[in-house]
Structure 1
C-alpha cells in the first residue's frame, strides 16, 4: 500500500511539472503577442541584420520590412510573412537558410546565418501573430 501512495505522489509531481512547462510556454507565447515583444526583441534583430537592404530608403527586391504591411505585401517574391505560421513564412525560411532553390539567396547574404536564439525569437513572434506597433520607431 505504501508503494502505491509513493507512486501516486511521484505521478502527481510529474503532472505538476508538466503543467508548469505548459504554462511557461503559454506565457512566452502571450508575451510574443504584445507589440513590446517586437520593439524590444525582434526589431533589434531585423535592424542589425536586414534594414541595410530592406529598410529606410532601401527596399532591395521591392521588400520593406520596417512595417507589418510591408512584410505582408512583400517584395518581388511575394509576402514574406504569414502571421501564425512560421514554417510557411518566407522570412523565417530565408533566415534559417532553408528557402527553396527559386527563392532569393539565404538572408542575410554574405554573412553567417543568424544565431539559433535570434531565429527562435523571430519564429516565436511570427507564431504569436507577428504583432507590431502601428508605427514602429525606426
Structure 2
C-alpha cells in the first residue's frame, strides 16, 4: 500500500508493484491531482506511461479518477518522460503525470508528476 514517506524520492514516487503500489493507489493519486488542478485553474493533465507491463493498468487507474474529479486528461500513451513534459507546455496543460520507475527493476513502477511547471514529490 501507498506509504509516501517510504516511497517518495527527490523527483518521483516509486515502489514494487503489488507490494508497495497497487492500482487503488493510483486512483487515490488521481483524485488528489484532480483536486489540486481544479483548485489552481482546472487545466487538463497530460498522462504518459513507460513500457513496463504494469504501466498501462496503473495509468488507466490514474486517468479514471482524474476524469472523475472533473479534470480533462490528454493521454499520450506510451511515451518517454521528456515528451510528456513537452506536451504539457505545448498543449497548455496544467500538469503532466508519467507512470514509470525510470531505471529501477521491471517489477517496480511509480509516478513522475509536474503541476504548474514544478516537480511534485521530494519534500511535498
The question of a shared fold, defined as TM-score above 0.5 by the shorter chain, is answered with no
More helix by share: 1
TM-score computed with the length of structure 1 as normaliser: 0.29
Q: Which has the higher contact order (CA 8 A, sep 6+)?
A: 2
Higher gyration radius (CA): 1
TM-score computed with the length of structure 2 as normaliser: 0.31
More strand by share: 2
